Amino acid sequence: MDELEVEAVDSLDPGVTTGTAEYVLYGGKGGVGKTTMAAATALASANEGTNTLVVSTDPAHSLSDTLGAEIASRPAQIRPELPLWGVEIDPDDALSRAGMFGQDGGFAGGLDALLGGTAGESGDDAAMMPGADEAAAMQLLLEYMDDDRFDRVVVDTAPTGHTLRLLELPEVLDSMVGRMMQMRERLGGMMDGLKGMFGQGEDDDQPLGDMDAVKERVERLRAVLTDPARTDFRVVLVPEEMSVMESQRLVERLDEYGVPVGTVVVNRVMEPLADVADVPTDAFVAPNHESCEFCARRWDVQQRALAEAQDLFRGHDVKRVPLLAEEVRGERPLRVVAACLD
């Protein structure tokens, strides 16, 4: 099979450009390298002098390891000389802080009270309300995206399913509000005996009003995600047939929600770095497809997957990031990755 042509990247210096989008989100299945791409993009953005926040919404955080720095659960500057801030959203912390329904227990506890449940008594609100941690993380993400301190926000999203569930939240909440209103109409005069379900006295309508407020915030997040002038959503995959097909389904689902995907990043490609980026390569070991039978076979597999990806994602900007012999941790390898993404 003929090898695919790869467009070289200009340079490996702090001036590697990262585009003009206010928000850059990396999505895809778990384990494909979203954290690496987000860290590399954020670092390059900060090196340009742009006040940048990198956010991890994945409960299995690895941003700290990738950047080689401690990342807190609240935005904090990573190095004093660089305009780069980082935050790893802690689901439990997000739940405790969210207060989406103005009640103890945040989203989960408030919804439990709204429905008249008793699950909150166990102290395990998150287990009672599936998706509550995702909704709470969404609220914090919105706060960070609105923060005037940052000119660009780069997001390492949770695996595919979590991202899609966030986009589905407006419909879910709208359906729940509708069911609550229908229930009230049916019960009529019986409501006095069910005040514990919906609140009491002057606060009767408060839970539903707060739910509408939550829905409005999610709609605002969707508005940001669907605006290509403000948001650059990038799908990350590895050069294997199954990953290509899964990524195609993700792109199609995102398209259903009106979220445009401009860039597809193929990570861990077994080709020389010099084929992808115009950077000094003397410190990087390249795979030898001639003397290494394993490398040659894996390259054949990857070539087929790459050809399929270029065909399926025609019209998208397909970037390739080579598989490096060493772990991508710290500034130097991250700058190499950023050069490949330019």
The predicted-structure confidence for 89-139, as pLDDT tens digits, reads as follows 887 776 676 554 444 444 444 444 444 443 344 444 444 444 566 666 767
Do 144 and 102 touch, CB atoms closer than 8 A?
no
Are residues 82 and 47 in contact, defined by beta-carbon separation less than 8 angstroms? yes
Q: C-alpha dihedral over 132, 136, 142, 144, to 10 degrees?
A: -150
Per-residue pLDDT reduced to its tens digit, 303-314: 999 999 999 999
The Cβ of residue 159 has, within 10 Å, a number of other Cβ atoms equal to 17
Q: How far apart are CA 252 and CA 121, in angstroms?
A: 41
Say if 331 falls within a structural domain: yes
* Dist. CA 113–CA 312, nearest whole Å: 47
Q: Flag whether pLDDT at 12 surpasses 60.
A: no
162, part of any domain: yes
The 10s digit of each residue's pLDDT in 157-213 is 877 766 676 666 666 656 666 666 666 666 655 555 545 544 555 445 555 555 666
pLDDT for 167: 66
Higher pLDDT, 177 or 3: 177
Residue 156's H or E segment, with its range, is strand 152-156
What are the two backbone dihedrals, phi and then psi, of residue 89, each rounded to the nearest 5 degrees? -65, 120
127-141, 164-178, 229-243, 273-287, range with greatest mean pLDDT: 229-243
Selected residue with higher pLDDT from 176 and 339: 339
**6 CB-near residues (< 8 Å, 6+ apart):** 271, 275, 276, 320
Q: Domain for residue 154, yes or no?
A: yes
**Residue type present at position 298:** R
Query: What is d(CA 13, CA 47) in angstroms, rounded to the nearest whole number?
Result: 9
Q: What is the DSSP string of 229-254?
A: TTEEEEEEE-SSHHHHHHHHHHHHHH
Q: Which range of residues forms the domain containing residue 317?
A: 23-97+133-168+225-341
The mean per-residue pLDDT over the stretch 33-43 comes to: 96
Q: How big is the chain by its Cα radius of gyration, in Å?
A: 23
Return the pLDDT at 216: 73
Amino acid 259: pLDDT: 86
Is 120:113 a contact under the CB 8 Å cutoff? yes
Structural domains of the chain, count? 1
Query: Does residue 153 belong to any structural domain of this protein?
Result: yes
pLDDT of residue 284: 75
From 67-71, 134-138, 239-243, 319-323, the region with the lowest mean pLDDT: 134-138
Q: Are strands 231-237 and 23-27 parallel, antiparallel or unpaired?
A: parallel
Query: 319 in helix, strand or coil?
Result: strand
Per-residue H/E/C for 27-69? ECCCCCCHHHHHHHHHHHHHHCCCCEEEEECCCCCCHHHHHCC
| pLDDT of residue 281 exceeding 70 | no
Closest-CA residue to 295 (of 308, 310, 285): 285
Q: Rounded to whole angstroms, how far apart are CA atoms 7 and 309?
A: 16
Q: With respect to residue 111, please indicate whether it lies within any of the assigned structural domains.
A: no
> Which stretches within the chain are classed as H helix?
34-47, 63-67, 91-98, 106-114, 125-128, 132-145, 160-187, 195-198, 206-225, 241-256, 293-312, 331-341
- Is 190 contained in some domain? no
- The CATH number of residue 59's host domain is 3.40.50.300
Q: Which amino acid is at 25?
A: L
Amino acid at 19: G
Would 127 be classed as within a structural domain? no
Average pLDDT for the chain: 77
37 contacts 236 by C-beta, under 8 angstroms: yes
Residue 196, by phi and psi: left (phi above 0), alpha (psi -120 to 50) or beta? alpha
Task: Please tell me the predicted confidence (pLDDT) of residue 257.
Answer: 83
Question: What pLDDT is attached to residue 304?
Answer: 96
Please report the pLDDT score of residue 172 as a whole number.
63
What is the per-residue pLDDT for 2?
40
Model-level pTM greater than 0.85? Answer: no
8 pLDDT tier (thresholds 50, 70, 90): very low
**Residue 317, H or E segment:** strand 317-322
Task: Note the pLDDT of residue 119.
Answer: 39
φ, ψ of residue 124 to 5 degrees: the values are -115, 70
Which tokens belong to 156? Answer: 């390492």
For residue 205, the one-letter residue type is: D
In this prediction, residues 247-266 reach a mean pLDDT of 91
pLDDT, greater one: 152 or 58:
152
Q: Which residue, 118, 157, 143, is CA-closest to 33? A: 157
Considering the chain, what percentage of its residues have pLDDT values greater than 70? Answer: 64
Mean pLDDT of 288-293: 90
Of residues 25 and 137, more confidence is placed in 25
> Quick check: is 88 in a domain?
yes
Are 207 and 114 in contact by the 8 Å Cβ rule? The answer is yes
